[in-house]
Chains A and B, each alone.
Chain A
Amino acid sequence: MSRSDVLVDADWAEAHIGDPHVVIVEVDEDTSAYDKGHIPGAVKLDWKKDLQDPVRRDFVDKAGFEALLSERGISNDDTVLLYGGNNNWFAAYAYWYFRLYGHDKVLLLDGGRKKWELDSRELSTEVPERPRTSYTAARDQDHSLRALRDEVIDAIGKRNLVDVRSPDEFTGRLLAPAHLPQEQAQRAGHIPTARNVPWSKAANEDGTFRTDEELRQLYEGEAGLDFGRDTIAYCRIGERSAHTWFVLHELLDLPNVKNYDGSWTEYGSLVGVPIELGEAR
C-alpha cells in the first residue's frame, strides 16, 4: 500500500462524480454539513447513528455494516471515496471500518470537506437515490487493525504507543479537544510510555496530509518512534487516532499498526491501570 493507492485529490474526485463504479461518501458526526451542501452525488454516513452500536459501546458488527452499505446502495465492487469534516477524522475512521471488514477498494479524499470548501468547489443539496444492494463483507472484523484494552495495557513499554491528542489533553490539562465542553468525568493524563504526536502535525492547514518524507521525519525523527516495533495509536474516542492509523499504516506502509478505538474515554476510566501526567518521560 502506498499514498497513490489510498489517497486522491479533489481533481480526481471531481472527475469521478457520476462514475457508476465510484461511490462518494461524506462521513461526519454533525451531518447538518452534508445537508447544507455536499460533493454532488455523495451519500452520507452519520458517525454515531450509522457506525456505532445503538446499545453497547462498540461499532456496528458485520451484519450491521452489511445492512448499512446495502441500504446506502454500495456494492462489493464499488470503489468508495470517503471524505468529511474535521480534517477527515471521521472519514478516516470510516476508512478503517472498511478495511476492518475487508473492503479494499476504498480511498480517502486528501483535504476532505475543508479543502473542497476552501477551493470553492461545487456543493449540492440534492440527495442521490441509489438502488439498494446486497453487500456482503469480505471477512469478519480484522483484529490485526484494532487494539482492545488488555492488549494496550500489555503494550506499555513494549510497543510504540502514539497518543494523538493535543498536548493539553496528553499532559492532563484538558479532558477533551478545545472545541468541546470539558465535562467528562474520567481521569486525565496519558498511557505510560506513550509519545504525544498530535494528529494535526500530520496535516497541512488545508487538511491535506504532509508528504511522506515529512511524516517519516515527524514520527521517526522528532517523536522517536521505533518503526521496527508494532504500534498502537489512540486519542479520546478513536477517530483522531484513525487519522494517524491511516498515516502510519496506509501512507507510510508500516506493517503492524492498530487503532485503539476505546481510547482515552475507556483507558482513563479503567480502575487500577497506570496513568502518567505531564510531559512524556
Chain B
Amino acid sequence: MSADGCGAPAGGVSAPAAAGSQAIVEGRVTRDGAAVATGYARLLGTGDEFVAEVPLGDDGGFRFFAAPGSWTLRVLAPGGLRAERPVQADYGHVATVDVTI
C-alpha cells in the first residue's frame, strides 16, 4: 500500500494491521466458504455518504483507516451480489467485519 498516494492501494489486506493511533476497519468477504477475490468494499457515512472504497484482495480482504464513528460497510461483487454491515471505528482499535455474500 502506498503511503503517499491518494488511492489505488494494493487490493485487500496484505499485512496484519497494528492499530496504533489509527481507527481501522478490516475484514474478509466470502461466498460459500471461499474468498471473493473480485469485488469492492465501500465505507459509507450517514445517508450513504461515500467515504472510501478498496478492491478486495485475493483473500477477499479489505482494510480502511477511518475517522472514529459509525459507518456502513457495503460490499459489491460481480453478479449483482451485495451486502451491508454496520461498523464502529475507534482510534487504537481494529474493527473486524467479515462478510458472507
Contact = CB atoms under 8 A, between A and B. Distances in A.
Interface string A224-253: 000000000001111110000000000000
B7 A177 contact: yes
A121 to B, nearest CB: 9
Interface residues of B, number: 35
A48 B21 CA distance: 28
Contacts of A48: 2, 5
A206 B49 CA distance: 15
Q: Which of A28, A30, A84 has the most CB of B within 10 A?
A: A30
Chain A's interface size range is 35 or more
Given A30-B2, A120-B78, A179 B53 contact: yes
B3 A180 contact: yes
B30 interface: no
A167 interface: yes
B34 to A, nearest CB: 16
B35 interface: no
A182 B24 CA distance: 11
Nearest to B45: A167
A235 B3 CA distance: 16
Nearest to B10: A30
Interface of B: 1-11, 21-22, 38-40, 42-43, 45, 49-55, 63-67, 76-79
